[in-house]
C-alpha cells in the first residue's frame, strides 16, 4: 500500500479516536521512507490521544526537524511540542526506533488477508485463472456474480480476493470485501470469515450505511448460531 493510502487510513482512525490503529498506519507510512513532517505530527497526535506522551514528544521532534516545513506549520509543531513537554516525565526517555516499532502481538494475517497491506497473501488458483482476462473492477464483479449464481460461493469469494489485490483504492477494496462478506452470509459460508472482511470494509469506508446494515444481519446470524 502506498504511503498516502496509509496516511489517509490513519487519519480516519485518528478522527474516530482509534489511536492504536492510527499509530500503526502512521508508523507503516513513515517506515516506507517517503513520509513528510506532517506524518510525524499526526503520529504525535495519535500517541498523545493514547496517553503515550514521551512517544508523542519524540514524534514531534521529528516533525520540527522535517525538511520543507513552512513557517506556519513549524509554529504549530512547536506549540504542540511545548504542550507535550508538560508530560515529559511520564515515561522513560525513548528513541526514534522505539516509537517506530509496532506491536505485532495480534495476528496481522487471518484468512490469508494481510491487514498491513490490505492484500490477500493466498488465493485459489482457479480464481486466478478465471480472472486472468479481467480488465477493470466491473469485470471482476461480473465473474464473481456468475460463480455465486452457480452456487460456487468459494470461487465467488476468491474472485473478489483477486479484485482486492488488483485495485489500489481503499474504497474499492472495501466494496470488494463487502461483497465477499455478503456472499458468505447469504450463501451460508464461513461467518467468522465474513465478519472479518466486513469489519475491515467498515474500517475502510465507515460512512457506508449498507455495510452497517449487513453487519446487523451478520450479528443476528451469529447470535442464532450460538
For residue 92, name the pLDDT band (cuts at 50, 70, 90). low
Average pLDDT, the chain: 85
**Of 52-66, 107-121, 148-162, 209-223, which gets the smallest average pLDDT?**
107-121
What are the tens digits of pLDDT across the range 21-55?
889 889 988 988 877 888 999 999 999 999 888 88
The stretch 107-118 carries a mean pLDDT of 70
Q: 38-44 long-range contacts, Cβ below 8 Å, gap at least 24? A: 38/63, 38/66, 38/73, 39/3, 39/7, 40/66, 41/73, 41/76, 41/77, 41/80, 42/7, 42/10, 42/11, 42/14, 43/99, 44/80, 44/84
Contact (CB, 8 A) for 178 and 214: yes
What are the tens digits of pLDDT across the range 61-78?
888 888 778 888 888 888
For residue 197, name the pLDDT band (cuts at 50, 70, 90). very high
pLDDT of residue 141: 96
How far CA 24 is from CA of 52, 151, 163, 178, 197, in Å, comes to 14, 39, 25, 23, 19
For residue 105, name the pLDDT band (cuts at 50, 70, 90). very low
Is the pLDDT score of 89 beyond 80?
no
pLDDT of residue 102: 57
pLDDT of residue 83: 85
Predicted TM-score of the model (pTM): 0.63
Distance, first Cα to last Cα, the chain: 37
Domain annotation for the chain: domains and CATH numbers: 3-99 (1.25.40.10), 109-224 (1.25.40.10)
Is the pLDDT score of 148 beyond 90?
yes
Comparing 169 with 87, the larger pLDDT belongs to 169
Cα atoms in the 13 Å half-sphere on the side-chain side of 169: 8
**Of 19-33, 94-108, 118-132, 146-160, which gets the smallest average pLDDT?**
94-108
Is the pLDDT score of 211 beyond 70?
yes
DSSP string of 133-156, one letter each residue: T--SHHHHHHHHHHHHHTT-HHHH
For residue 224, name the pLDDT band (cuts at 50, 70, 90). confident
Take residue 127 and report the three cell numbers written for it: 480464481
Measured CA to CA, the distance from residue 226 to residue 222 in angstroms comes to 7
Amino acid at each position: 500500500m502506498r504511503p498516502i493510502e496509509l496516511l489517509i487510513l490513519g487519519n480516519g482512525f485518528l478522527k474516530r479516536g482509534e489511536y492504536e490503529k492510527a499509530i500503526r498506519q502512521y508508523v507503516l507510512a513513515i517506515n516506507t521512507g517517503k513520509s513528510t513532517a506532517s506524518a510525524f505530527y499526526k503520529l504525535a497526535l495519535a500517541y498523545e490521544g493514547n496517553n503515550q506522551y514521551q512517544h508523542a514528544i519524540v514524534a514531534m521532534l521529528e516533525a520540527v526537524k522535517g525538511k520543507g516545513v513552512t513557517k506556519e506549520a513549524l509554529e504549530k509543531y512547536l506549540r504542540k511540542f511545548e504542550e507535550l513537554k508538560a508530560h515529559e516525565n511520564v515515561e522513560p526517555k525513548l528513541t526514534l526506533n522505539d516509537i517506530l516499532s509496532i506491536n505485532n502481538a495480534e495476528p496481522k494475517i487471518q484468512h490469508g488477508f494481510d491487514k498491513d497491506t490490505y492484500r490477500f497473501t493466498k488465493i485459489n488458483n482457479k480464481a486466478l485463472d478465471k480472472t486472468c482476462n479481467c480488465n477493470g473492477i466491473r469485470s471482476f464483479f461480473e465473474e464473481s456474480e456468475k460463480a455465486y449464481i452457480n452456487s460456487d460461493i468459494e470461487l465467488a469469494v476468491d474472485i473478489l480476493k483477486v479484485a482486492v489485490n488488483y485495485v489500489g483504492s481503499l474504497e474499492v477494496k472495501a466494496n470488494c470485501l463487502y461483497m465477499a462478506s455478503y456472499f458468505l452470509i447469504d450463501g451460508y459460508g464461513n461467518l467468522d470469515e465474513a465478519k472479518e472482511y466486513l469489519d475491515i470494509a467498515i474500517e475502510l469506508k465507515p460512512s457506508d450505511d449498507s455495510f452497517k446494515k449487513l453487519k446487523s444481519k451478520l450479528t443476528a446470524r451469529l447470535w442464532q448460531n450460538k
